Amino acid sequence: MTTLPVELEREIFEICALSQLTIIPKLVLVAKRVKEWVEPLLYKTILLGVDLPGAPSLPYDIVPVVISHRPPAFFHAAVRHLLAFTPHYPARELEMILRHCTGIENLWIFNTDEKLMPLVESLPLKRLYAAFKPVASPMFSHLTHLQLGVNLDENMDSVQAFIAALPALTHLSLSFDMFENEGVVFAMIHRILESSPSMLVLIIFDNATITWAQEVPPQLRHDVRFVLMPHRHFVVDWHAGVQRGRDYWTDAESFIAKRRTREIDPLKCLWP
């Protein structure tokens, strides 16, 4: 019987594991070396409080056991993407995960508890999806992609100041729910784009995008970086981006590229 080179054997098992994450618990039983190869892949993306087909979710009641049975360095090295739907997940277990998973680069978190903010701020985040919370000190210096859920009564100057303090930001999306004062939002968007030449994509999400599109002022309509999109299932979209590299960011990038080349009307800001 021919023995495969270790590098090739590892590649085969990793491809198998990544093609269907739910079979990893079975693969780790094959051999010790296989467990060392594929178990970190099971924790590369963690979902908390949500169930998606084909995506392993970590129930809160096993979190202490899972963490206590592995060295701290394991989770720092393994976990890169975390989605936490906080209404369905206890704060104590979420805090435990954030304390151990210190290498997270991509975080989707619903309604962040104030007590958790220091842990969130300490992460080496490149992508963040969260509700807006004004802060006084600069943070997230490596953040390139940001989605903010903005409340109706939020001060737009505070939102703009928060965004201006992010030096690496190139992709921004703001999510509104039935926001009626489009003029205030459009003025803020224009100021952000004018002062941020490194900004590549700026998206507004709302359920009334057709109405918004009719009110877009000329200076924004001529800036191809500005895109209006209807709300979508953000949890599903986030996971698709992690797994396949296709999400609303890539949709917007393709849309903007077509406007730049005039494949579509460059003044068309409503996707698709």
pLDDT in tens, 72-90: 899 999 999 999 988 778 8
| One domain, residues 20 and 63 | no
Is residue 85 a contact partner of residue 49, using CB atoms and an 8 Å limit? yes
Examine the domain organization and report whether 198 and 258 are in the same domain: yes
Q: Are residues 25 and 51 in the same domain?
A: no
Q: Domain for residue 199, yes or no?
A: yes
Cis-peptide, bond into residue 272, ω within 30° of zero: yes
Q: Which two tokens stand for residue 98?
A: 């954030």
pTM: 0.89
The whole-number pLDDT of residue 101 equals 95
Residue 158 is part of which domain span? Answer: 126-272
Give yes or no: residues 267 and 223 share one domain. Answer: yes
* Whether the predicted pLDDT of 1 surpasses 50: no
Residues 76 and 181 in one domain: no
156-177: average pLDDT: 89
Task: Let me know whether 161 and 224 are in one domain.
Answer: yes
| Domain match, 140 and 218 both | yes
250 and 265 inside one domain: yes
Q: Are residues 47 and 30 in the same domain?
A: no
Q: What is the pLDDT of residues 108-143, one digit of tens each?
A: 998 777 888 889 989 999 999 998 776 655 678 999
- For residue 127, the one-letter residue type is R
Angle at which helix 182-195 crosses helix 156-164, to 10 degrees, equals 20
Asked if residue 100 and residue 9 are part of one domain, the reply reads no
Distances (CA, A) of 256 to 44, 47, 55, 73, 259: 31, 31, 31, 41, 5
Phi, psi dihedrals of residue 107, rounded to the nearest 5°: -125, 125
Are 168 and 249 in the same domain?
Answer: yes
Assigned domain for 117 exists: no
Nearest by Cα to 239 from 52, 112, 80, 102: 52
Reported as a single tens digit per residue, the pLDDT across 180-227 is: 667 788 999 999 999 999 999 999 998 777 778 888 999 999 999 999
Which tokens sit at 46?
């963690």
Place of tokens 């579509």: 264
Domain count along the chain: 3
